C-alpha cells in the first residue's frame, strides 16, 4: 500500500556517520532532503572512534565540533600508543612496556599539529558519535530524518531517482522522487545492485571486536588510547590483540573497552564467543577480572574502492565507495570527507549556480584520494608484522623459541640493549599510522573543480608525517589565524557554513575585491572577500608564510576550503580572470 509520496531534491540512504554528516551539511546549505535508515536506531557497535584534524575542521565549519569536543577524549587522554606484553600478571615477561609513541597530534606532536589547523583531533566512538550526529541532523532538519525506513527498490528516470521506501513501523510503503540520491548505505544495497565493482583485495582478515565494561584503572594510564599486546603466545600483534579505551570517561577510569583480535576468515574458532572472555582474561593476564561483555562483532577486512562513484544521479559515499583496514583511522574520516566534498556541489547545482558537470568532479576528486588512503591503511596494517619481526617474533616458530626471543629482549647486557634498540626503531616505523599528519591534511585533488596554475605540488613526506601547507590549486587552504575586529578567525572561517566561496588577497588586492563583487553578481554566487593587511590582520605573520601570493595576488577558495584557483600576482583584467575561473569551477565555463 502506498501513502504520502514525497518529492525532494536529495534522498540519503543510510543513517551512519556518512549519511548523518551529509544531512547536517545539506541542512546548513539550505538543501531540502530526506535521510532514511533501515535500523530503528543508530549503531550499537563501537566501530570507528578517531576523528582526525581534517574531519574536526569540517565539523567546526558546520557547527558540530563543539558538541563533539564536549564529550570526546581530550588529546592528553588519548595522545599516546603503547606496546606491552600484558596489563597484569607477575611472570618474568608480564607487564612489560616494550615501547610508547606519541600519536594523533598529542604530546611532542602538539605544537606542530596546532600550527597547521584551527582544531585538534579527538576520539569518540561511533556508537556515541552517531546519536550525537543524529541529534544535530534532526535539529537542523526536523522532518528530514527517518529511522526504521528502508529503501526497497529504485529506478532512475530523466528526472532523477524514484525510490520505494518501506516504513518498518507501519509496514507501509511510499515513493520518494529525488533529483539526486546519496548512497551512504555502507555498500549494503545500492552499489551491489548497480553492478559497481569494488576493486582490490578482500576478505583478508576477520576482525573480532569485543566491547566490554571493566575497571582497569589500576592497569591503564591517563594518556594511552591503544595498547598493542605482544607476547610469545600471540605469534603476531594482530593475533595477540589490540585494546582501545572507549570512554565515556577518558583515561585510566574509562568504563568501556574494545579488544580487537584478528582471525583468518577460514578459522572456525572466530565464531566461538564462549572462548572470547577466557581469551581476553588470558591476554590481559587478569584471570579474575570482572567484566561485562556488551557485544562481540565481526568485521571482514578489505581494501576495496568502487570503480564508479557516480552512476547517473546516484552518488556512492563512505563505506559504499571504499572499505579499508582500520589502521590510520581513515574509514569513517574519509566517509565524512566524501560527504563534505559532495554536498556543497549538490547545493550549488540544485540552486542552479552550477551545472551538473560540477557533480562529475566528486568522483574525479574523491576516488584517487580514497584509493591512496586505502593503500596507506593497508600498508600501515601490514607494517604491524614488521613490528612483530622487529621484536623477534617468528610466526609458526615453537613457543619456546618465541619465549626465548622475549627473554632476550628484556635481558641485561649488550645483546638486550641491541634488541631493545631494534624494537624501538622498528616500532617507530608505525608513525605511518599514528603520526600520519600529511596523510590526514596533505591530500589534494589533481583533477576536478580546480584550475591548475602550472605550479608543482610540494613533495609529500615519505613517512606521511610532515605536512607542507600550500595555496596551490587543488590543495586544502592552509590555516592561519587572522585578526578581525578584536577577534581571532582562521582562514578556514572565511567560507562560513552556508556554502560561500572566499577570495583571499593582500594589501594591494583592491582590484580583486572589486572583481569579486562583479563575479558574484554575474554568477549569482556568494564570495566572501578577505583583504589581508586591510580588513583582516596577519597578526602572527602565518599567512605571509603560507599564502604564497604577492600583495596583489589572490586565492579563490571553494566552500569546502580547497583552493580552486589562484593568481600569485595582480592581473590586467581581474574581473575577467576571476569570473571565468569561477564559471569554469562551476561547470559554466
Ligand atoms: C564491527 C565494525 C567495527 C569497525 N571498527 C572500526 C574501527 O575500529 N576503526 C575504523 O576506522 N573503522 C571501523 N569500522 C568501519 C567504520 O565503522 C566505517 O568506515 C563507517 O561506519 C562507515 O560509515 P558509513 O556511514 O559510510 O556506513 P555505515 O556505518 O555502514 O552506515 C550505512 C547505513 O546504511 C544503512 N542502510 C543500508 N542499506 C539501506 C537501505 N536499503 N535502506 C536504508 N538504510 C540502509 C545501514 O543500515 C547502515 O546503518 C568498523 C566497522 C564495523 C562493521
Mutation test of ligand 1: which of 20, 37, 193, 317 has the most ligand atoms closer than 8 Å to its C-beta? Answer: 37
Q: How far is the CA of 2 from the centre of ligand 1 (A)?
A: 29
Q: How far is the CA of 573 from the centre of ligand 1 (A)?
A: 49
- The answer to whether residues 319 and 189 touch, using CB atoms and an 8 Å cutoff, is no
Please indicate whether residue 183, judged by its CB atom, sits closer than 6 Å to ligand 1. no
CA angle (250, 255, 257) in 5-degree steps: 90
Please indicate whether residue 206, judged by its CB atom, sits closer than 6 Å to ligand 1. no
- Which atom of ligand 1 sits closest to the CA of residue 50? 11
In the structure, what pLDDT confidence band is assigned to residue 270 with cuts at 50, 70 and 90?
confident
Question: Per mean pLDDT, which range of 120-124, 365-369, 387-391 is the poorest?
Answer: 387-391
Handedness of CA 389, 394, 395, 401 (dihedral sign): negative
- The answer to whether residues 145 and 164 touch, using CB atoms and an 8 Å cutoff, is no
Please indicate whether residue 87, judged by its CB atom, sits closer than 6 Å to ligand 1. no
Q: What does the DSSP 8-state code read for residue 491?
A: G
Please indicate whether residue 208, judged by its CB atom, sits closer than 6 Å to ligand 1. no
Stretch 247-275: mean pLDDT? 88
Q: Buried (b) or exposed (e) across 391-413, using 16+ Cβ within 10 A?
A: bbbeeeeeeeebbebbebbeeee
Q: How far is the CA of 20 from the centre of ligand 1 (A)?
A: 12
Nearest CA, atom 3, ligand 1: 47
Distances (CA, A) of 382 to 133, 174, 375: 32, 47, 11
d(CA 543, CA 541): 6
- Which atom of ligand 1 sits closest to the CA of residue 150? 42
Check pLDDT > 80 for residue 235: no
CA 27 to chain CA mean position, Å? 21
Higher pLDDT, 400 or 239: 400
Please indicate whether residue 584, judged by its CB atom, sits closer than 6 Å to ligand 1. no
Please indicate whether residue 338, judged by its CB atom, sits closer than 6 Å to ligand 1. no
d(CA 250, CA 112): 24
- Write down the mean pLDDT value for the chain: 95
- Which atom of ligand 1 sits closest to the CA of residue 18? 25
pLDDT in tens, 419-466: 999 999 999 999 999 999 999 999 999 999 999 999 999 999 899 999
Please indicate whether residue 319, judged by its CB atom, sits closer than 6 Å to ligand 1. yes
Please indicate whether residue 15, judged by its CB atom, sits closer than 6 Å to ligand 1. yes
pLDDT in tens, 431-444: 999 999 999 999 99
CA angle (115, 335, 58) in 5-degree steps: 35
Query: What percent of the chain shows pLDDT beyond 70?
Result: 99
- Which atom of ligand 1 sits closest to the CA of residue 319? 26
* 77: three-class secondary structure by DSSP: helix
Q: What does the DSSP 8-state code read for residue 189?
A: S
In the structure, what pLDDT confidence band is assigned to residue 24 with cuts at 50, 70 and 90?
very high
The pLDDT of residue 3? 58
Stretch 31-56: mean pLDDT? 97
d(CA 398, CA 432): 31
pLDDT in tens, 135-166: 999 999 999 999 999 999 999 999 999 999 99
SS3 content of the chain, % helix, strand, coil (to 5): 35, 25, 40
The pLDDT of residue 2? 52
Residue showing cell 563575479: 519
Check pLDDT > 70 for residue 1: no
- The answer to whether residues 402 and 352 touch, using CB atoms and an 8 Å cutoff, is no
- HSE-up of 559 (CA within 13 Å, CB side)? 24
- Which atom of ligand 1 sits closest to the CA of residue 165? 42
Q: What does the DSSP 8-state code read for residue 139?
A: H
Please indicate whether residue 373, judged by its CB atom, sits closer than 6 Å to ligand 1. no
pLDDT in tens, 276-330: 888 889 899 999 999 999 999 998 899 999 999 999 999 999 999 999 999 999 9
Q: Note the maximum CA span of the chain.
A: 79
d(CA 227, CA 132): 27
Nearest CA, atom 41, ligand 1: 151
Check pLDDT > 80 for residue 269: no
Query: What percent of the chain shows pLDDT beyond 90?
Result: 89
The strand pairing partners of 213, in sequence order, are: 256, 292
Mutation test of ligand 1: which of 78, 188, 244 has the most ligand atoms closer than 8 Å to its C-beta? Answer: 188
- The answer to whether residues 361 and 449 touch, using CB atoms and an 8 Å cutoff, is yes
The pLDDT of residue 274? 81
Nearest CA, atom 53, ligand 1: 299
Phi, psi of 377 (to 5 degrees): -60, -40
Please indicate whether residue 234, judged by its CB atom, sits closer than 6 Å to ligand 1. no
The pLDDT of residue 246? 97
* 239: number of Cβ within 10 Å: 17
The strand pairing partners of 176, in sequence order, are: 6, 163
The pLDDT of residue 497? 73
Amino acid at each position: 500500500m502506498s501513502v504520502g509520496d514525497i518529492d525532494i531534491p536529495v534522498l540519503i540512504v543510510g543513517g551512519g556517520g556518512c549519511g548523518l554528516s551529509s544531512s547536517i551539511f545539506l541542512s546548513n546549505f539550505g538543501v531540502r532532503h530526506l535521510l532514511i535508515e533501515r535500523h530503528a536506531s543508530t549503531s550499537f557497535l563501537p566501530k570507528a572512534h578517531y576523528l582526525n584534524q581534517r574531519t574536526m575542521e569540517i565539523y567546526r565549519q558546520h557547527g558540530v565540533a563543539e558538541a563533539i569536543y564536549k564529550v570526546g577524549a581530550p588529546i592528553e587522554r588519548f595522545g599516546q600508543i603503547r606496546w606491552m606484553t600484558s596489563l597484569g600478571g607477575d611472570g618474568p615477561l608480564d607487564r612489560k612496556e616494550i615501547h610508547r609513541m606519541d600519536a594523533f597530534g598529542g604530546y611532542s606532536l602538539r605544537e606542530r599539529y596546532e600550527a597547521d589547523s584551527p582544531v585538534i583531533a579527538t576520539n569518540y566512538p561511533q556508537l556515541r558519535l552517531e546519536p550525537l550526529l543524529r541529534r544535530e541532523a534532526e535539529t537542523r532538519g526536523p522532518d528530514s530524518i527517518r529511522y526504521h525506513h528502508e529503501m526497497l527498490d529504485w529506478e532512475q528516470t530523466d528526472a532523477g531517482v524514484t525510490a520505494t521506501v518501506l516504513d518498518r513501523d507501519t509496514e507501509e510503503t511510499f515513493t520518494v522522487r529525488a533529483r539526486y540520491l546519496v548512497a551512504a548505505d555502507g555498500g549494503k544495497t545500492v552499489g551491489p545492485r548497480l553492478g559497481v565493482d569494488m576493486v582490490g583485495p578482500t576478505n583478508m582478515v576477520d576482525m573480532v571486536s569485543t566491547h566490554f565494561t571493566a575497571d582497569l584503572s589500576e592497569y591503564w594510564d591517563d594518556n594511552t588510547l591503544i595498547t598493542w599486546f605482544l607476547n610469545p603466545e600471540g605469534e603476531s600483534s594482530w593475533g595477540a590483540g589490540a585494546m582501545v579505551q572507549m570512554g565515556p570517561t577518558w583515561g585510566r577510569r574509562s568504563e568501556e573497552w574494545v579488544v580487537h583480535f584478528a582471525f583468518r576468515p577460514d578459522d572456525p574458532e572466530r565464531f566461538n564467543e564462549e572462548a572470547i572472555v577466557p581469551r581476553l582474561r588470558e591476554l590481559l593476564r587478569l584471570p579474575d577480572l570482572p567484566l561485562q561483555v556488551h557485544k562481540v562483532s565481526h568485521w571482514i577486512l578489505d581494501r576495496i574502492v568502487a570503480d564508479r562513484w557516480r552512476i547517473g544521479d546516484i552518488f556512492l559515499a563512505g563505506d559504499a565507495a571504499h572499505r579499508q583496514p582500520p589502521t590510520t583511522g581513515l574509514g569513517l574520516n574519509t566517509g565524512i570527507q566524501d560527504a563534505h566534498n559532495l554536498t556543497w556541489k549538490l547545493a550549488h547545482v540544485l540552486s542552479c549556480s552550477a551545472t551538473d558537470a560540477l557533480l562529475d568532479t566528486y568522483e574525479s576528486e574523491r576516488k584517487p584520494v580514497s584509493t591512496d588512503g586505502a593503500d596507506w591503511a593497508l600498508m600501515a596494517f601490514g607494517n604491524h608484522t614488521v613490528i612483530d619481526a622487529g621484536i623477534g617474533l617468528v610466526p609458526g616458530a615453537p613457543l619456546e623459541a618465541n619465549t626465548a626471543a622475549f627473554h632476550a629482549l628484556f635481558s641485561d647486557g649488550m645483546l638486550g640493549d641491541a634488541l631493545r634498540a631494534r624494537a624501538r626503531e622498528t616500532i617507530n616505523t608505525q608513525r605511518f599510522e599514528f603520526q600520519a599528519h600529511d596523510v590526514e591534511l596533505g591530500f589534494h585533488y589533481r583533477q576536478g573543480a580546480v584550475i591548475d596554475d602550472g605550479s608543482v605540488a610540494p613533495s609529500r613526506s615519505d613517512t606521511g608525517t610532515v605536512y607542507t601547507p600550500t595555496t596551490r590549486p587543488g590543495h586544502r587552504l592552509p590555516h592561519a589565524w587572522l585578526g578581525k575586529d578584536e577577534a581571532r578567525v582562521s582562514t578556514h572561517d572565511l567560507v562560513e557554513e552556508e556554502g560561500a566561496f572566499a577570495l583571499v588577497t593582500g594589501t594591494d588586492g583592491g582590484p580583486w575585491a572589486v572583481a569579486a563583487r562583479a563575479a558574484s553578481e554575474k554568477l549569482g554566487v556568494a564570495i566572501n572577500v578577505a583583504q589581508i593587511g586591510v580588513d583582516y590582520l596577519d597578526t602572527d605573520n602565518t599567512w605571509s608564510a603560507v599564502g604564497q601570493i604577492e600583495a596583489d595576488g589572490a586565492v579563490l577558495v571553494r566552500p569546502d576550503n580547497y583552493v580552486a584557483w589562484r593568481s600569485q600576482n595582480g592581473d590586467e583584467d581581474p574581473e575577467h580572470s576571476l569570473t571565468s575561473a569561477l564559471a569554469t569551477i562551476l561547470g559554466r565555463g
